[in-house]
Structure formats: C-alpha cells, structure tokens
Amino acid sequence: MRAGPKAEITAGPLDLTALPRSGVRRVDAFARDYLKVTRGKGARGPFRLRGWQKDIVRRLMPTSGPRPRQALLSLPRGNGKTSLAAVLGAYGLYADGVESAEVVVVASDARQAGITLRQIARMVELEPRLAEQTQVFQSRLYVPHTDSTLVVLPAEPGALQGWNPSLAIVDELHVVTRQVWDAVSLAAGKRDRSLTLAISTPGPRGCDVGPRRARPPR
C-alpha cells in the first residue's frame, strides 16, 4: 500500500457474467476464480470455501427471497474468521451487483483493522483482474468503475460516522461497546438492502459472548 497519488484505472469494467447469478454458488465461484489464499497451506492457490463456510453464506445470501438485515456468527478462535470476513468483504466490493457499494469492516482495534485490510489488499494484489480495477490506499480500497469502497475501521464510534454501508462486518462483537454497535446498525439501516454481520467468539461453556454493554443483533 504505497503512499502518494494513485494511477488512473485504464482497464475496462470487471466482467463477471460467467459467474452464477446469485447465492452461495456465486460467492463460491467468485472466491475460487478471483481470490487467492494469502498465507499458510495452499498459499497463492484459489480460495475454496469449506462446507461449513458455504452453509453460512447460504443463509446470509440466499438465492431467492430477501436477505437477513443482521446476522450473528459465532466461531472459536483459530477457525479462519478473518479469512471468511475478507472473502465476504471482497465479494461485497466487486461481485454483489451494488453500485457505489460501501463495505465496512469493523475490527476490534486499529491493529486488527490493519491485519484485515492487508489480507484483502493482498488478495487483490495476487489477482491481476482485480488489481487493475482497484486503487489501494493505506486505509481503504476503491473501485472507480462502480464507485465502490471497502474500508476497515477500528471499533470507535467516531470512526463510523458518515458511512452508508451495503455490507458491514463487525469482527469480535464481544469486545465492542453498545455505542459502536448502535453506530454500525444505524449506518447500515440507510439502505433498502444491506447486511450487518457480527462475528463473535463462544464463551468457555459454548455460549456466545455478547458485546460489552451492547445489544446483540436481532
């Protein structure tokens, strides 16, 4: 993510006509065709959603009917939730068919925000078809052809003001405050079709750990 002016985008718009029209099949095909594993086993190979990840996406993005406006996903630590958030974020930026999309990933703190953004930016860097569409800044990705933005923000109410997300992902819900959750929910409610996905960590007895002083998603 180099500082300074960004090169003008000269490539034509991304052609996604070969992908399935909607639902988990579209998300899965986009991940396999356009996204790469950024580290560890299978690095630089196509990102293939696991069965349990497909089950999650199937509920979040049904082939027909309305999507849920809010959802809660509870995952133990070390199960790739940041990678899943990165895939969903990239899909929301490039392939969800939303003009002027705003994908907001709310991380637990500035450090985690940087980790998540670097993972998504690396996915873009590894795929020339995405890289030629995208201006990469220190705090966001921007796709001029669709006027779409992906930004990763720390869980601070002030940082969330002024956004109008088509997709909001709240990582580590159990450590955010009520003020942060309310700010995200209010921002996402501006669109007729938006999804706010909260990701949390199960408690010691398998119970979900809710947000500190926050109302859980409905």
CB 33 within 8 A of CB 123: no
Long-range Cβ pairs for the range 16-24 (8 Å, 24+): 16/94, 16/95, 19/95, 22/61, 22/63, 22/64, 23/58, 23/61, 23/62, 23/63, 23/64, 24/54, 24/57, 24/58, 24/61, 24/63
pTM: 0.87
Strands 195-200 and 167-170, by their bridges, are parallel
**Sequence spans of domains, the chain:** 64-200
pLDDT at 5: 52
Give residue-wise pLDDT tens across range 44-74: 999 999 999 999 999 999 998 888 999 988 8
How many other CB atoms sit within 10 Å of the CB of residue 152? Answer: 28
More confident: 75 or 63: 63
pLDDT at 173: 81
pLDDT greater than 90 at residue 144 = yes
Amino acid of residue 40:
G
pLDDT at 209: 41
Q: Which residue has the tokens 């992908």?
A: 19
Give residue-wise pLDDT tens across range 156-193: 888 888 899 999 998 878 778 888 888 888 888 788 88
Q: Find the length of the chain.
A: 218
Longest CA–CA separation in the chain, Å: 54
Phi, psi dihedrals of residue 28, rounded to the nearest 5°:
-65, -45
Query: CATH fold of 64-200, please?
Result: Rossmann fold (3.40.50)
CA distance 156 to 149: 19
More confident: 18 or 213: 18
Q: What is the CA radius of gyration of the chain?
A: 16
